[in-house]
Structure 1
């Protein structure tokens, strides 16, 4: 189901709780909401649709990938950039890393560890920051 975008900064600054199999409907809501906003968005965190759980979705080429309980475990190649967010007006400066390693679970709660670089790494960092209650 397509959900409205959360704009309440006090809510968005709350740290998300770990996701469980009971949160599977949230994963579908994230997929539907990202698809509905595809012309202006490449990733979302569950708190952006009003659910304080550690679930993100990232557009990786043609495929939207859901990551459950993501944790960035390594990072290198720090750089400065500016980013926008559906939950916030305008663009803001952000510190990101060119390469990251992420531990996460897929939608079946199978664990994965994967390295990401470039723009996909930047999207993941932005969405994981949402899970931590950090706004750009």
Structure 2
């Protein structure tokens, strides 16, 4: 079930206690490393990092009223998830992430197209997730998005 809270702080307050400290640490590392221009919001029932309309007025092609999504952070029923559209859209970034994850974590990488799942909070490579957040500027993400996702 998606969260209906309106602020990241309220979302974090609802994260199970056994995950809350690492979830907050992960959020802080992402925020510390995100390039200038991304904005933290609540979207899709989780914490999101987006390109705001003031920087990209066209918004998200699926619903132009929404800002362009880039990353999300969620506490799901059985795991913590980081969604990163850059690793889905840019093969070289995905390759880098897979290689770095193997170097920095003893856990098996559990991921889908843009979703990285962590069943054990203690296995989250916090610094690596911050570095991943830093790897794409707003302008690079817009360019990548327009080339790969936006309907012509």
Q: TM-score if structure 1 supplies the norm length?
A: 0.29
- Relative to its length, the structure with more strand (as a share) is 1
Structure with the greater relative contact order (CA < 8 A, sep ≥ 6): 1 or 2? 1
Structure of higher CA gyration radius: 2
Q: TM-score if structure 2 supplies the norm length?
A: 0.27
- Relative to its length, the structure with more helix (as a share) is 2
